[in-house]
Chain A
Amino acid sequence: MSEIVLKDVNYIYNKGTPYEVHALRDINLTLGGGIIGIIGHTGSGKSTLVQLLNGLAKPSSGKVLFDGEDLWEKPERVRAARFRAGLVMQYPEYQLFASTVYEDIAFGPRNMGLSADEVDRRVRLAAEFAKVSPDVMERSPFDLSGGQKRRVALAGVIAMNPEFLVLDEPAAGLDPGSRRFILGGIKEYRKKSGNSVIIVSHSMEDMASYCDRIIVMANGRVIMDGSCAEVFSRSLELIGLGLDVPQVTHIASALRECGIDIGRDVYTVGYAAEKLDSFCKKA
């Protein structure tokens, strides 16, 4: 399993102009394995952070290490990083351009210089993961619905078979059905391919039910880093940062105030039900 290490990374936009913004401050992180969630407010630096992982942005200071190798030491490593850490940007449906869905998904693998057979294999596999049905493959991507377009864009990145699938707000602006559909597909992809997944989001519900590890960012710094239970048990701090916690965590703390303590680590509905059940049995 490969890993990406960020070492003392700082990132400053528009350095030396009145618009200077210090987006990331002294970031030290080791990423790899499982589904990692990055949460934070708008402007907390999470989108900048993910652009560092595939070399789209160059840190103002500090290093990005891909399996111990400094990304910015050699130019060919940057290009390789694009394929190793596949980034699905926010609202990726706006990047579709080809005349058919198939061609669009094949764009990434073709840029990798793969053989036609291999491209075909990867396109079909990626479409399956992203739940793009085979009968739309020959249609124009512009004729599809919003949710379908999003899945085609997702397939376009999955087709590169990146060791890291990095998604910036993959479910933003989708209805709950498409939301579960797309996130479910990502989880399944993680399980079947064994590749690491990094999701940036501010939906606590999604994070709680899909992530193994959560990184909380605020003002360009990493504030918390741990399992869902660890992070969501600090619900007061999260709320203090202007972030939310899953609704069921709110309910658990409200219950605690009424004298019904089912624990601080409640963040999914299923687990809450379990805890509540055993509490009732005890009482």
Chain B
Amino acid sequence: MDVAFGQYCEGDSLLHRLDPRAKLIISILYIVVIFLAKNVFAFAAVTVATLAMIFISRIPKVIIAGGLKPILFIAMFTAVFNIFFFKGETLLVDVWIIKIYLEGLINAGLIVLRIVLLLISTSLLLTYTTTPIALTDGLEQLLSPLAKIGIPIHDFSMMMTIALRFIPTLIEETDKIMNAQKARGADFSSGSIIKRVRALIPIIIPLFVSAFRRASDLATAMECRCYTGGKGRTRMNVLHASPRDFVFTFCVICLGAGVILINIYAPGYSVSM
């Protein structure tokens, strides 16, 4: 199992130094921009922008490529569906009941590109260049107005911090348990589906047991340090927004405006989905 997913990648680039609050807002904007893109040219613009972000972040390409592995299946699945079930105008292949249209191919390509861009941009902004702690700090502060109407924001963000903190730990643990069961001859990669699902039992049970053990240890450790919730808690790192945060947000808004303009004035092959 690859551990590229959800891991912070040490660095000191512009993206690393952005305020986590700005990064959260930018990611949301960026997702909107990606969904706004309707045709080939708009997609080209967003792709260029994403490539630029990769360049700015100085995250090794191997890590980014590795991060795409988990969505490989879903991307292929969507692509296949779009290629075979899309009705367009230019018929390319017509064999028996299979009809493939040029529009279907382009549509499939763009939708896969959209999934890839979504994953790359959000993981670049939120996981590779932001520590989970900074991220939840940012989220907590962004949502803090909601605390006034009685929503327990601090508790949610603490839960999220803990959950994020334990993702790598649990992945590592899964790896270890898998190895231990493999050492006893467990086979996860052959046999029928039912057999393979059954083969997961020896992994899932020890994983749950250890997750519960960790949870109870952590709860004890927090209580020992007098944790009673968010009330009256001050923070060690106070976040400060700087000009670069606003500049970056502004750039993304401009990109969005550009994409809308391209959609209107440069109609190319459009996506429908």
Give the interface of A toward B (CB within 8 A): 16-18, 51, 54, 56, 79, 82-83, 86-89, 92, 94-98, 107-108, 111-112, 142, 156-157, 160
Contact = CB atoms under 8 A, between A and B. Distances in A.
B88 interface: no
Interface size class of B (residues with CB under 8 A): 20 to 34
B186 to A, nearest CB: 6
A17 B185 contact: no
Contact of B182 (A56, A94, A96): A56
Given A18-B10, A107-B202, A157 B183 contact: yes
A107 B184 contact: yes
Contacts of A111: 184-187
A82 B184 CA distance: 7
B184 A56 contact: no
B177 interface: yes
Given A17-B62, A18-B60, A89-B176, A82 B206 contact: no
B185 A82 contact: yes
Contacts of A98: 202
Contact of A82 (B9, B176, B182): B182
Given A79-B185, A97-B206, A89 B9 contact: no
B185 A83 contact: yes
Interface in B206-240: 206, 209-210
Most buried by A among B177, B185, B202: B185
Interface string B171-184: 00000110111111
Nearest to A93: B206
Nearest to B177: A95
B201 interface: yes
B264 interface: no
B201 A86 contact: no
Contacts of B181: 95, 107
B63 interface: yes
B69 to A, nearest CB: 14
A96 B206 contact: yes
A89 B180 contact: yes
Contacts of B10: 18
B205 interface: yes
Given A17-B62, A17-B63, A94-B210, A160 B205 contact: no
A144 to B, nearest CB: 13
A107 B176 CA distance: 17
Main SS at interface, chain B: helix
Most buried by A among B176, B182, B183: B183
Given A16-B62, A89-B179, A97-B206, A156 B9 contact: no
A97 B202 contact: yes
Nearest to B199: A111
Q: Which 5 A-B pairs have the closest CB atoms?
A: A111-B185, A95-B180, A97-B205, A108-B184, A87-B183
A98 B209 CA distance: 12
A248 to B, nearest CB: 35
Given A17-B62, A17-B63, A89-B179, A157 B184 contact: yes
10 contacts: A18-B60, A83-B185, A89-B179, A94-B177, A95-B181, A95-B202, A95-B206, A97-B203, A97-B206, A142-B209
A165 B209 CA distance: 27
B205 to A, nearest CB: 4
A92 B201 CA distance: 17
A97 B201 contact: yes
Contacts of A16: 60, 62
Contacts of B202: 95, 97-98, 107
Contacts of A107: 181, 184, 186, 202
Most buried by B among A86, A97, A98: A97
B180 A160 contact: no
A161 B56 CA distance: 55
Given A94-B206, A95-B206, A56 B183 contact: yes
Contact of B184 (A18, A94, A156): A156
A16 B4 CA distance: 13
A111 B176 CA distance: 19
Given A94-B176, A111-B186, 16 more contacts: A16-B60, A17-B62, A18-B60, A56-B179, A82-B184, A87-B183, A89-B183, A94-B209, A95-B181, A97-B206, A107-B181, A108-B185, A111-B184, A112-B185, A160-B184, A160-B185
A111 B186 CA distance: 6
A17 B60 CA distance: 7
A17 B183 CA distance: 28
A42 to B, nearest CB: 16
Given A16-B62, A97-B201, A97-B205, A92 B185 contact: no
Contacts of B9: 18
Nearest to A107: B184
Contacts of A83: 185
Nearest to B208: A97
B184 to A, nearest CB: 4
A98 B9 CA distance: 38
Interface in B39-86: 60, 62-63
